[in-house]
């Protein structure tokens, strides 16, 4: 997987298969920044082929947990926010 430093919302991200061929890619406004490569981690997927991406929100410290849902390997700004709550 390739993504740019300082990038956001799925822009300038590419996911490659084990032969180095891009299987998903999104262009964007952050292409001028250096890129990093990391191992791809499969996102959870439901029966409707939606992928779920967890994220943590920070304001000086961790203050919220969110999940975004989309039917594409690269979750972008069009993803749906999924409401939830934690209980014991």
CA geometry: angle 45, 46, 50, nearest 5 deg: 65
Calpha distance 15→26 (Å, rounded): 9
As a whole number, the mean pLDDT across the chain is: 90
Please list the residues that pair with 62 across neighbouring strands.
Answer: 58
pTM confidence score: 0.78
Helices and strands in the chain, H and E counts: 0, 7
| Burial class, 75, CB count within 10 angstroms (exposed 0-12 / middle 13-18 / buried 19+) | buried
- pLDDT tens, position by position, 41-78: 999 999 999 999 988 777 888 777 889 999 999 999 99
Handedness of CA 38, 36, 23, 82 (dihedral sign): positive
């Amino acid at each position: 997987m390739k993504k740019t430093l300082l990038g956001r919302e799925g822009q300038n991200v590419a996911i490659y298969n084990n032969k180095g061929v891009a299987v998903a890619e999104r262009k964007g406004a952050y292409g001028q920044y250096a890129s990093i490569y990391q191992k791809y981690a499969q996102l959870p997927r439901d029966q409707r082929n939606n992928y779920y991406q967890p994220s943590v929100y920070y304001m000086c410290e961790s203050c919220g947990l969110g999940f975004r849902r989309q039917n594409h390997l690269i979750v972008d700004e069009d993803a749906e926010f999924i409401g939830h709550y934690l209980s014991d």
